Each structure stands twice: as C-alpha cells, then as structure tokens.
Structure 1
Amino acid sequence: PGRTTLILNSLRINLFFPAASTKLVCYFTNWSQYRPGNGRFVPEHVDPFLCTHVVYALATISNTNQIKPIEWNDETLYKSLNDLKKINPNLKTLLSVGGWVNGISPFISMVSTPENRHAFIRSAISYLQAYNFDGLDLNWEFPGQGGSPPEDKLRFTALVTELREAFEKESTENKKTRFLLSAKAAAIPSTIQYAYEIPKISSQLDFISVMTYDFHGHWEKVTGHNSPLYRSLLDQGNHIDYNSDSALTYWIEQGAPAEKLLMGLATYGRTFRLTSAFNGLGAPSDGPAAAGPYTRDPGFWSYYEVCSFIPAATVHWIEEQKVPYAVQGDSWVGYDNKESFTAKAQWLREHNLGGAFIWTLDMDDFRGTFCEDGQYPLVNHLRNSLGKLAYITPRHLAPLPVFKGSCKTSPQTSSSQYSTIIWTNPLLTFCVGRPDGLYPNPEDNTTYFQCFRGNTYLHRCQPGLVYVDACKCCNYP
C-alpha cells in the first residue's frame, strides 16, 4: 500500500504516494492570537487543505468535570475553524483538552472516580456536538507524574476505554460517524512506563501523538537539541533515549501498533545563552537566550523567529542527530528545518508509522513573510515528504530520459550503486493563476485537483468512483 512501481526502459522506479492511513495532524493554540503584529494567529490563517486533521488547543476541565473554554472568545474561534470544513469537507477537526489549573492537571480529579469520568464523557459528547468538532484529543502531561498518583495509570486506561465505548454508542444511536479519540503522549521511556498501559490504550485510541520534542532546553547547563532524530555520542545515562528514534521504538516494542503512532515535529527551536567560546553541542550555558519578539518566551523561538536570526548567524548540522543549530554571539538555537523534516519523514515511512503531527501551525511561517519560502514552509515540506516519491534506482542501467516532462535521472559521477530520480511534475503548478475550486485531472479521472490560494492539492475518489466536473463530485462511472 502506498507504492506504485513503473517499468520504463527496463528501469525500475518506485513512486511513493500517501497511504490511506497517513495522517498529518496539525495543532494550533488559542493563545497565539495574542502575539503582536505578524505573529498573531487565528483560525482564518489555517490552510484547510494543508493537514488531514487540525487540533484546536486548548480547552480545560471544570471542577464539576465539564469541558469548558479557556479564552474569552474560544466559541467564536471554534466556529471559525470548523467553518473551514465547508471549504474542505475532508478536513477533520479535534478539540484538545487538558493543560493546568493552578499548576495541577485537571485530569487528576476527573479520573478519580467512575462518576466523575462519566460526567466528563457526557460533557465531552455534548460539547463536540455543539461546536461541530470531529473528535477529542486528551492532553494530560502525564498520568502518574506531577502530583498524579500511580493509580492514574490504570484510571487513564479506564477513561480512554469508557470514552471510546460512549463515542461508539453515540454514533450508533445517532447514525453518524463516530467521534475520533486521540492523545498526546510522553516520549521518554522512564515517563512512559509509569503513565500508560500501552497495549490497552492503543487499542482504544485512533492515534497517539508522541511528543518527540523538548528533549533538551535551557533548563540544562549545556546546549542540547530540542528534537533530535537520533542519539548523540555525548548522550549518557537516561539521555541516551532523548531522541525520536528511541522514543518511538520504545512505544512499538511495548505493544503500540506502529500505524497508531504519530511522530511529533516541532516548528520551534530551544535557545541557550553560551558562557564560553565553545559553541557546539554540549557547550556550557547559564540559561536561555533573549525571548523572541513575537513568542516572547525566553528559551523558545518560533521557526519564523529563527528565520530572522539565521542571516546573521552561523548554521551547523549535527550529522549524527540529523538536525541543525545556529549560533550568533552568545545565542544558540537548536531547531528543525526542511532537511531535518525530510530525515524524520523518511524514518516514519520506513517504520510504517501512522503519520506525523505538528506542534504548531502558528509557529511555522504561516504568513510567508519571514523565511522567504512561501507560507507554511516547514509544514508544506513535511506534507510533500510524507507522500511523495522514491528516490533511488540501480545505476548500471541506462539513464532515464525526460518522460512526458515528468521524470528524469540526475547523472552522478561517484561510485555509488544508486542514482537519484528527480520528479518534475508540471501538475505541481496546475493551480497557479486559477480561482479557488475543484478541477478535473485530465490524466486520471479517479482523481481531481483542489485549488486554494494558488496551491495544488490532489484528491482521490473512493474506489469505483470517478470525478464528475458537472457536479464537482465523485460518482459512479
């Protein structure tokens, strides 16, 4: 699934397209509306065709075990987000619930008795129905941690199981699609083992967003990358597991189906203030660099703030961890870029994960004004990396010429056994200059194009159907 093989001039080319289960789940935060100037983000900035799922963060839980909003205008923003489904009916939206109340997770009290859990579940169903969400995302950091007793590991399993049962019952009674159920989950094995009964919750959740970021930050005394893909040779003790590869491998080894797991990718960097001339990985630090002008949070820069920092900085690549960092003066930032996103997308494809999630849309260059690379440069690149093409073919065969303007080999001179296939599909520019809307694909009537803000999105009809332009819909041939 997800692979098409073409034989051209006796040359085998593997083309990878998104598998049906591939998810790109994108969070945005309701506090990003308060950032100044071009940093202000509201649901109208969401591209409804960029992600398969968009998650609104964050709602909370009252002392009567009811879902309740946090911001004064949450209900208005809910409507703005869910109105985007009128533009893209395939978009799914979820409401993330959790956070902190006076420094304590509201889940602790809510899960403590069956009665409290049932009150929350009834509230959740009513709330999702009232505001037109497609599902619920549980954001508890973390069961069995931070004042949460050890019994909460079992109570979290009970909550997830009871929510799934209630969602299925509501779906049957109302003859409608079942609400989705997901959870943001820990990435460090020592936390995971105290927080989750992995096989049990995995069977009930539609997907699990593993927070493979915040592995290092200014709370440490030496520089370390926020979201490394692999271990560094400098990592010792528990830190050998502070990377995406170790975290996701642990989840799988403990019984989570790979197709239920999403790798977390960060659109921000963690900063340090250097205290010596040494500025590499593991350099001494005494705290965060100055806060960014938009996020205004010491130790934490959005990707668009990183883009403003890079021109005056020196950029380095950590080859063993497949991530970059940049240094200017005594300021050090470890962040993600297109190259590191490519490496992570390749990892999750090779390990058959269910997809990726983004934290967050509002920290990518959503306006396209900072990074000189269009709107949402990181998320767009990830979207393409999740579903695009294979790259290698045996070198000893004859070079592949341009094939209908679509595919050609890149000549190589090294002794490598492989050469690179470059995709030059002209349909990537199909929507340039066209009005927003649906258009037939002249090459394949089982697919069609969606044009939105000059971007081209390819959609596939359900098996057995073809696209009919007269009704702008998929129908029987």
Structure 2
Amino acid sequence: FVRMCYFTNWAQYSSPPFTKDDIDAIDPFMCSHIIYAFANLKDNELLEYEWNDQESYSKINALKSSNAKLKTLLSVGGASNGEAPLNSTLSSEENMRHFVNQSIAFIIENGFDGINLEFSGKRNKEKFADLVTMLREGVDKVSATHPMEIAMFGPTAQDFIDGSFAVARLSQELDFVILGTFYFQGDPNTLALHTALYPKRPDSGEWSTSNTAWAVDSWMERGMPKDKIVIIVATTAVKYTLDDVTNHRPGDGATKGDTVGFQETCTFIKDSNAQCYQDNQQVGDYCVRGNTWISFDGSSTLTYKAEWVIQHGLGGIATWTLDRDDFSNSCTMGAYNLTKSWTSVLSDASKQ
C-alpha cells in the first residue's frame, strides 16, 4: 500500500511557515512517496513555480539518502496553473511529444522518480489519453537507468470523470490515480463533512455522490483497477458559521468559511472548549462552539479509513498536505499526528 504525502511549495508562506529546516526534519520513512506540488506547465514545458523551487527540490530528494526506498514525484498543474496550458499541449502531436521529452528530462535532471498530472478540468479526453500513452512510452525508454512512475489526479464529480478521462485507456498506462476525495460540498449553505467516506442517509442527488466510497466505485466501474486507486485524506479542515446554534448536524444551514490546517483546528478544540462529535454514518469528525462549526478528520477516523483501504484492496492513501499537519508538534500530540495515524496502519499491512 502506497503512503503518498503532498508537500506544497507555498507552504513557506503559511502560518506557521514550513521552512527549509522543516523539510530536513521530515521522517523519510513515514511516507512511501512525497509529491512536490506544483510545477507549472507553460508552452509545453515544465517550469519551476517558486523562486526557490530548485533548492526545495534538492532538499526533498535528499531525504532519499536516509531511505533509498522513498520515491519523489513532481506534480504539474494545479488550480493556479489552470487547464489552458494543458489544452494547448493537447492541440497537436508535436506539442505533446515536446512535453513528453522535456518533462522526462526535467524530472531526471531534478532527481525525481516520476510525475503526477494534476489537471481536473474539461478537455478532449481521448487526446489526454494519447498524451499519457506517449508519456508511458517515453518513461519506458529510460526505465533501465531512470525508472519512473506516472500518477494522475482524478476528480470525483461524475461529469468531470466522464467528460475528461478515458478511464479504460488510462488504466493501462498509469501507475496510480489519486482521487480528490476531500472538499466535498453540495450546497455551500449547508453543513458538510468535507472528507465523508459514505453518504448521509437518506440521501439523493449531488449529496449521494459527495463521498469517497462513491468516487472509488465510479472509477472502478469505468475500468480503473482498484489497486491503482489512491484516496486523499486531508490534514485541513473547513469552517462554517451556523445559521442557528441549536442546529449543528451535517445538512443543517450554515455559511461556508475558510479552510484551515490542523494546527488551527487543534487550537480551536483545545482553547475554546468546543464540543466534538464523530459521525459514524458518514465517517468524519466535527466540532462546534457558539456559531463556529469545523469539519475535519481526527486520528481515529484516519485509522479507520486506512483499514477501509486495506479491506477494499485499494492502492493506498495520499495526504493533502504534510505542511498543514502539526509538523512542529505545537498541539503536543506528536509531530505529524494525523499523517502518522494512517501511515503506520498501511506500513504495517504492507509488511505482512
């Protein structure tokens, strides 16, 4: 079972900042893969996004000196890059071949072990499958000296899956598809467990599809092997302002607010005497104090999800993100408390 951990290049600007020293302090055995997000796609080429990406590339890849089995992937795309550069690349075979050749060279030059394609918008799905096929052919040509993996972010909304991804074709070329099983939201004026494992019952319409189990089933039904499917769990939480402080269950009225990291979530719980609950139907956690409501996954929920992944024979789990976990142990629950709660379960299962 893979244990993929995203690390973002804007973490250095967060509060608290994730510094160069914090990269050095990452336990190199905690994750099987570290995914560096993001590189830009521009004019059919991979480019650095931040001014100090090269230094961060080196520090992330230096972790492999302590654990030779650790793999690092460079993620290209993301919301800030948008879909337009990819559509430009897909517009001709010449553009696609240039992207394949340059991206493989860029990955090798910077010490990574593969690429993660992070594009979830609308596109010509057959052209995208052509690109992934070309990428696989290119990767196979260098596999003797530079073995690489190809992963891809997969959306969970049915119209995006069917409109942009030729799943059966992609299943032949990808090593993993990483499903965006977080930030689930139907009506933004309704409380939601943003990482729900199951739907709320009774449920129908969009709510019935806003959960991890539905997303996994959808990709499998379309031809993706279960052992290539990786689900995302989040170290982030979503805050809401309640319409009525007496109504604070998922589905009740509220206004959606900010996304916060686990350090802020932990502080809210410990300093405000918040009342916390576990939703056993959807599988998720939420806490409330006054008119503030926050949805997140606690350590016991993440342990349950790891066991669920094992039970269903999936490929593994990815966390979004390492830098939003309590990496500095400010909550005194242990550094990377959330991440380690599930990585330890998958690591033990992989040894059996």
- Answer whether TM exceeds 0.5 for this pair: yes
Secondary structure of the 2:150 match is strand
Residues of 1 paired with 2:88 and 2:80: CA distance? Answer: 11
Residues of 1 paired with 2:4 and 2:295: CA distance? Answer: 23
Between Structure 1 and Structure 2, the one with more helix by share is 2
CA shift at 1:367, angstroms? Answer: 1.4
Q: Using the TM superposition, name which of 158-167 and 267-276 deviates more.
A: 267-276
Partner of 1:335: 296
Residues of 1 paired with 2:339 and 2:153: CA distance? Answer: 19
Normalised to the residue count of structure 1, the TM-score between the two structures is 0.70
* Counterparts in 2 of 1:238 and 1:72: CA distance versus 1, 3 Å: same
Deviations 1:129-180 (A, max 9, x none): 11111101100022x2xxx4xxx11111011100000111122xxx314211
Partner of 1:410: none
CA shift at 1:103, angstroms? Answer: 5.2
* Counterparts in 2 of 1:222 and 1:40: CA distance versus 1, 3 Å: farther
Alignment check: 8 A CA contact 2:40 2:77 kept? yes
CA shift at 1:189, angstroms? Answer: 2.4
Alignment check: 8 A CA contact 2:41 2:81 kept? no
Q: Using the TM superposition, name which of 41-50 and 343-352 deviates more.
A: 41-50
**Alignment partner of 1:240 is 2:208:** yes
* Counterparts in 2 of 1:39 and 1:119: CA distance versus 1, 3 Å: closer
Secondary structure of the 1:265 match is strand
The correspondence for 1:121, drawn from 81, 100, 107, is: 100
Alignment check: 8 A CA contact 1:27 1:358 kept? yes
Partner of 2:131: 159
Normalised to the residue count of structure 2, the TM-score between the two structures is 0.94
Secondary structure of the 1:215 match is coil
Partner of 1:181: 150
The one-letter code matched in structure 1 to 2:140 is E
Unmatched 5+ residue regions in structure 1?
1-21, 289-298, 390-457, 461-477
Residues of 1 paired with 2:126 and 2:35: CA distance? Answer: 26
Residues of 1 paired with 2:204 and 2:351: CA distance? Answer: 46
CA shift at 1:46, angstroms? Answer: 2.3
CA shift at 1:387, angstroms? Answer: 4.1
CA shift at 1:96, angstroms? Answer: 0.2
Alignment check: 8 A CA contact 1:365 1:375 kept? yes
Q: Work out which structure has the larger RCO, using CA pairs closer than 8 Å and 6 or more positions apart in sequence.
A: 2
**Alignment partner of 1:249 is 2:202:** no
Unmatched 5+ residue regions in structure 2?
none
Secondary structure of the 1:333 match is strand
Residues of 2 paired with 1:91 and 1:220: CA distance? Answer: 39
Q: Using the TM superposition, name which of 207-216 and 95-104 deviates more.
A: 95-104
Alignment check: 8 A CA contact 1:58 1:70 kept? yes
Partner of 1:304: 263
Residues of 1 paired with 2:343 and 2:199: CA distance? Answer: 25
Residues of 2 paired with 1:316 and 1:91: CA distance? Answer: 36
Of all paired residues, the percent bearing the same amino acid is: 32
CA shift at 1:343, angstroms? Answer: 1.9
The correspondence for 1:55, drawn from 30, 35, 53, is: 35
Deviations 1:407-458 (A, max 9, x none): xxxxxxxxxxxxxxxxxxxxxxxxxxxxxxxxxxxxxxxxxxxxxxxxxxx9
The correspondence for 2:60, drawn from 81, 92, 103, is: 81
Secondary structure of the 1:194 match is helix
**Alignment partner of 1:260 is 2:220:** no
Alignment of structure 1 residues 97-116 onto 2, 5 Å: 97-100=76-79, 104-116=83-95
May I ask how many residue pairs the two structures share in their alignment? 348
Alignment of structure 1 residues 168-207 onto 2, 5 Å: 168-171=140-143, 175-207=144-176
CA shift at 1:339, angstroms? Answer: 1.6
CA shift at 1:234, angstroms? Answer: 5.3
CA shift at 1:349, angstroms? Answer: 0.9
Deviations 1:56-94 (A, max 9, x none): 0000111x2110011000011101111111111111001
Aligned-residue Cα RMSD (Å) equals 2.0
**Alignment partner of 1:373 is 2:333:** yes
CA shift at 1:188, angstroms? Answer: 2.4
Secondary structure of the 1:49 match is coil
The correspondence for 2:47, drawn from 68, 78, 84, is: 68
Alignment check: 8 A CA contact 1:99 1:106 kept? no
* Counterparts in 2 of 1:158 and 1:102: CA distance versus 1, 3 Å: closer
CA shift at 1:263, angstroms? Answer: 1.3
**Alignment partner of 1:383 is 2:343:** yes
CA shift at 1:191, angstroms? Answer: 2.1
- Which is higher, the Rg of structure 1 or of structure 2? 1
* Counterparts in 2 of 1:39 and 1:310: CA distance versus 1, 3 Å: farther
Secondary structure of the 2:255 match is coil
The one-letter code matched in structure 2 to 1:358 is T
Partner of 2:110: 131
Residues of 2 paired with 1:65 and 1:39: CA distance? Answer: 30
Residues of 1 paired with 2:314 and 2:66: CA distance? Answer: 28
The one-letter code matched in structure 2 to 1:346 is E
Secondary structure of the 1:97 match is strand
